[in-house]
Amino acid sequence: MRLRRLVPAVLAAALAACAQNTTPIEKKGYTGKPPLGQAISEAELPLETWAWIPFDDAVCADGSTTGLAVNRGSGSDLLVFFDGGGACWDYATCAAGTAVDDHYGPAQWDVELRDYVPSSLTDRANLPPSLAGATIVFVPYCTGDVHGGSNVKVYGNAVFSETWRHVGHANVLAYLARLAPTFPSPRKLVVAGSSAGGFGALVSYEAFRWYWPEARGYLVDDSGPALVNNDVPADLRDAFYGSWHLGEALDPVCVECRSNLSAAFSELSSSHAGDRIAFLSHVRDPVMATFMLSTPDAFEASLRELEALVFAPTGNARVFYDTDGGQLDAHMLLTPATPFAGGSYVASHEEGGTTLAAWLELMVSDDPRWTTVMPP
C-alpha cells in the first residue's frame, strides 16, 4: 500500500515542456435534472458496518472496475470522503512512475480499512458529535487525476506506451447517480478529502450540490491547496487541464480556475452562501511544497496569501493552519500519511489552543464561533 500522500512525482523539465492549454472554454454548468441510477439496497448496507459496493461503470486507470465503501448510519446526515494519493499527467509520472495507484478493489479496501481508517475522520468514533449518526462514504482513488478527470490518454511512443484512464470525475458522477436515490434527502452533506482527495472534494463539490441542493452543505479540503494564480505553476495547471480534461469538473464552477485555481473557493463560497467551506493545511507541508515546485518558506507565504485574498473576504469560508510542518509525515490532517500506529487525527492537531476536532464540530454544528485558526 502506498503512502496516503500526493507524492511529488514532479519533474521541472517535464512541466516546462507542457504546451499551454488551448481548449476552447465554455462555462456549461450543471443544468437540468441530474441522472439517477439504481439505489443500493439496504441489504447491501448493514447498519454501522463497512460494506464494499462494486460499480460496473466506475473504472481505475488500468481499466479494472472499482467501487466505493459505505458505512450506513442511523441518521440522515451524509459524509463523503475522497481518498488521497499521487497525481500524474505524462509517461514519466503515470506509466513509468510507481507513485500513483492504477487499481483499487476489495483487497485494497481491506488494507485501507485496517491501516488507515482507524485514525482518520472516516472512523465512526472520530466523527464530530453533530455527525454521530451520519452515513460515511469512502471514495477510493486510482485514476491519478485528483478525482477530477474525464479523459483517456495514451502515454509514450510506438515502442513504449500505456493507456491511462483519467476518469475520476466520471466515476464521481457514476457514484452520485446511485448514492442519490439511496440517500435521497440528507439533512447535512459533508464533502471532504485529504491531499489528492482534498482537491477531489473541491472540484466535485458542485456536482454534489447538483444532486442534493436542499441539504445543509459543508466542504472540507484537507491539504489540497488550490493556491492563488501562479502559486500553482502555470505549466502544472495546463497539464491538469490538458491530460485530465479537468475543465469537465471545474468549468461549471469557474472558468477562471484555468488560470487561478483558488477561484474555485471564491466561486463556491459565493454560489453557496449558506454552506460552510474549510481548507486545512500544515503551513510548511513539505510534500505540497515540493509538489508545487516551491520551498517550505514560499509555500507558507502562498498559504497566507490564500487566506488573506480568498478566504478572509468571505462570510462562510475559513482555514485551519497547523504549525506541525517540516517533517515528511506533516502532510494531511484528517487522515494519516502512514499506516495506523495508534491515536487519531482528533488528538493530533492543535493551533492556538483549538483542536482540529473541536474546530470541525463548530463548523458542522453551524456554531457562530467558527473562525479561522492559524499561527501569527
Length of the chain: 376
Can you tell me the distance from the alpha carbon of 11 to that of 50, in angstroms, rounded to the nearest whole number? Answer: 39
- Identify the pLDDT of residue 209: 96
- Identify the pLDDT of residue 348: 67
Instruction: Kindly give, in sequence order, each residue whose CB lies less than 8 Å from that of residue 113, ignoring residues fewer than 6 positions away.
Output: 50, 69
- Identify the pLDDT of residue 247: 95
- Identify the pLDDT of residue 330: 77
DSSP class of residue 258 equals: G
Coil, helix or strand at residue 96: coil
Coil, helix or strand at residue 335: coil
Can you tell me the distance from the alpha carbon of 10 to that of 102, in angstroms, rounded to the nearest whole number? Answer: 18
Long-range Cβ contacts of 367-371 (<8 Å, 24+ apart):
370/276, 370/318, 371/318
- Identify the pLDDT of residue 12: 35
Q: Which residues of the chain have pLDDT under 50?
A: 1-3, 8-28, 325-328
304-360 pLDDT per residue, tens: 999 999 999 999 999 999 987 444 457 899 988 777 666 666 556 878 888 999 999
- Identify the pLDDT of residue 15: 39
Residue 95 CB neighbour total at 10 angstroms = 20
CB 65 within 8 A of CB 175: no
Residue type, 316: N
Rounded alpha-carbon distances, angstroms, from residue 208 to 4, 179, 229: 24, 10, 26
Long-range Cβ contacts of 95-98 (<8 Å, 24+ apart):
95/155, 95/156, 95/160, 95/161, 95/162, 95/164, 97/9
CATH for 12-17+37-364 is 3.40.50
What is this structure's pTM? 0.92
- Identify the pLDDT of residue 21: 39
- Identify the pLDDT of residue 344: 66
Where in the chain are the domains? 12-17+37-364
User: Beta strands 78-82 and 135-139: pairing type?
Assistant: parallel
- Identify the pLDDT of residue 230: 97
DSSP class of residue 90 equals: S
CB 265 within 8 A of CB 256: no
Class of residue 62 by CB neighbours under 10 A (exposed 0-12, middle 13-18, buried 19+): middle
18-57 pLDDT per residue, tens: 433 334 334 446 888 999 999 999 999 999 999 999 999 9
- Identify the pLDDT of residue 221: 98
Task: For residue 249, give the nearest of 308, 154, 172, 176 by alpha carbon.
Answer: 172
Class of residue 59 by CB neighbours under 10 A (exposed 0-12, middle 13-18, buried 19+): buried
Backbone region of residue 239 per phi and psi (left: phi > 0; alpha: psi in -120 to 50; beta: other values): alpha
Residue 222 has which C-alpha cell? 484537507
Instruction: Kindly give, in sequence order, each residue whose CB lies less than 8 Å from that of residue 230, ignoring residues fewer than 6 positions away.
Output: none
Q: Which residue has the cell 500524474?
A: 88
